[in-house]
Amino acid sequence: MQCDTRTPKEILPHQKDYKEGAWRDYELWEYGMWAHLLVKRAAHRKDAHKMEKDLKDAANYWAMGKAIIDKELEDMKQEENEAEAVNHDNPRF
């Protein structure tokens, strides 16, 4: 599932390691799953540096999921505005 969602600023430093726009090929539930698992793994870590990395990675996955939600909200608002414009141009009496 590819979408035209804007790339979150949080993952820009990591883009060089992946194909252009590859992050858009995942679905919202997948980002939630990754964030959940990384937070859980961080809680089980003994090494503070690895824990911190897991939590930062979880935040990045969360940001990618949030970008999908933000795009859905943006699309919904645009559709509402377009519907309002049509109703305004064609009032019903």
Q: For 18-86, what is the HEC assignment?
A: CCCCHHHHCCHHHHHHHHHHHHHHHHHCCCHHHHHHHHHHHHHHHHHHHHHHHHHHHHHHHHHHHHHHH
Count of C-beta atoms within a 10 Å radius of residue 58:
20
pLDDT of residue 84: 79
| pLDDT one-digit tens code per residue, 53-87 | 999 999 999 999 999 999 999 999 988 888 877 77
Token look-up 């990754």 returns 34
In a domain, 32, yes or no: yes
In a domain, 61, yes or no: yes
- 89 pLDDT exceeds 60? yes
In a domain, 8, yes or no: no
Instruction: Give the domain extent around 61.
Output: 23-84
In a domain, 7, yes or no: no
Number of independent structural domains in the chain:
1
In a domain, 13, yes or no: no
In a domain, 1, yes or no: no
| pLDDT one-digit tens code per residue, 38-47 | 999 999 999 9
Identity of the residue numbered 56:
K
In a domain, 49, yes or no: yes
pLDDT of residue 92: 66
What pTM does this model have? Answer: 0.76
